Amino acid sequence: MSKKIRVGVVFGGRSGEHEVSVASAASVMEALDKEKYEVVPIGITHEGRWLAGSDPRRMIAGVAMEEAGQDDTVTAVVITGDPTRNGLVPVDTSQAQQEAAGPLDIVLPVLHGTYGEDGTLQGLLEMAGVPYAGCGVLGAALGMDKEKAKMVFRAAGLPVVDWLTVRRHNFEQDADAVCARIEERFSYPVFAKPANLGSSVGVGKAHDRDELRKVLATALEFDRKAIVEPGINCRELECGVLGNDQPIASIVGEVVSSGEFYDYRAKYIDNASRLYIPAEIPAETMEAIRRMAVEAFLALDLSGLARVDCFLDKDSGAVYINEVNTMPGFTQISMYPKLWEATGIPYPELLDRLIQLGLERHADKQRNRTSFSPEEEA
């Protein structure tokens, strides 16, 4: 039998979406085919400490216990900065966790938000020479920054909701001038959101100047840059994309929120938001969204996977790309895996494909020449 692929599943992390990531990773580790893969769970605590172990369930509990200062059975992860020998190595510091020690064949970053979905982890893995699943540095960073993603979409001719960018510095200098500039351009209600975040954290809806000041101040607590958009009376449609150079799109699903908008509470607490797969929309709209999703994926130079979220304007019928998530929620009941299941790719096969795509992308990058001498070229 051929050797198993050692997959490091990285989860948790220094992000507001730590808990969501832990839930996603638990599903992923459970579903990975143990005949093909040796799973090495790598948990990152809220404080940013990297821990490795061999038993997924124990590791998840271990990360929580480590935070409470109660667990010493987990193993530290060492990044050697040596691409020639795959430089991300769980080292054996405790007898109990010996199986976790040794280099990994690929890393599956099941992290949402900052320090995981934003290109920082991807940069670390690039420097260490470790193959990983999902988007590269640029794609992850662009996907995370709502302002820059919109700029690229607009340049690629894709429809986005108009916006204004507000910097913390300017808001702190003269909030009234900032609000006046927004009111000149848009009428209420407007949405303010931190440029780099997710899970609706820091997102607010304002109906007047007072509320606008408040939601902007909140958004700017989470990031030094916020975007403000006119509120759209919309349906929220989501499409999965999978692949590298020839990405494919899943069928389109719809999220119907329990609250006034799809905020953190509606996403994770109330349990009252509903997913409809497929979305009940005309076939042409579904096809248009699938095409746009693939174009958006290529425009941002993404790889592996992304969930492309769109707004369908109920008043005008227009479709806008709202944002992409390069590591969307990944529990078995999350939108992205469910969209693929409904399109014909069951959860375990989706994981196989993501690992394969990560290995292929790594091999493709290895083909790039890294030396050049003008004499030889002549």
Ligand X SMILES: Nc1ncnc2c1ncn2[C@@H]1O[C@H](COP(=O)(O)OP(=O)(O)O)[C@@H](O)[C@H]1O
- From residue 146 to residue 185, the character string flagging contacts with ligand X as x (rule: CB under 6 A) and all else as - is ---------------x------------------------
CB-closest chain residue to ligand X: 262
What number of other Cβ atoms are within 10 A of residue 70's Cβ?
A: 9
Shortest Cβ distance from residue 200 to ligand X (Å)?
4
**Site for ligand X contains 144 (CB under 6 A):** no
**Site for ligand X contains 238 (CB under 6 A):** no
Tokens 């227009």 correspond to: 318
**Site for ligand X contains 329 (CB under 6 A):** no
User: Out of 198, 247, 328, 337, which residue is the one contacting ligand X (CB under 6 A)?
Assistant: 198
User: Out of 6, 112, 193, 290, which residue is the one contacting ligand X (CB under 6 A)?
Assistant: 193
Region for residue 213 given its phi and psi (left: phi exceeds 0; alpha: psi -120 to 50; beta: otherwise): alpha
Shortest Cβ distance from residue 236 to ligand X (Å)?
5
Contact 12, 111 (CB under 8 A): yes
> Which residues 201-230 are close enough to bind ligand X by CB under 6 A?
203, 229
Tokens 């931190």 correspond to: 194
Tokens 């690929």 correspond to: 106
**Site for ligand X contains 322 (CB under 6 A):** yes
Please, which residue, 40 or 321, has the CB nearer to ligand X? Answer: 321
Structure-token pair, residue 169: 């510095």
In terms of Cα–Cα distance, which of 199, 193, 261 is closest to 221? Answer: 193
Q: Which stretch binds ligand X (CB under 6 A): 6-14, 17-25, 197-205, 270-278?
A: 197-205
> Which residues 268-287 are close enough to bind ligand X by CB under 6 A?
none
Phi then psi dihedrals of residue 259, to 5 deg: -100, -165
Please, where are the H alpha helices in the chain? 18-31, 56-67, 120-128, 137-144, 146-155, 168-173, 175-185, 209-222, 264, 283-299, 335-343, 347-366, 374-377
Shortest Cβ distance from residue 264 to ligand X (Å)?
8
**Site for ligand X contains 249 (CB under 6 A):** no
Please, which residue, 42 or 292, has the CB nearer to ligand X? Answer: 292
**Site for ligand X contains 334 (CB under 6 A):** no
Q: Which stretch binds ligand X (CB under 6 A): 134-142, 198-206, 299-307, 342-350?
A: 198-206
**Site for ligand X contains 200 (CB under 6 A):** yes
In terms of Cα–Cα distance, which of 344, 295, 274 is closest to 159? Answer: 295
What number of other Cβ atoms are within 10 A of residue 159's Cβ?
A: 14
Angle between helices 18-31 and 347-366 (to 10 degrees): 100
Question: What residue ranges bind ligand X (CB under 6 A)?
Answer: 161, 191, 193, 197-200, 203, 229, 231-232, 234, 236, 257, 261-262, 309, 322-323
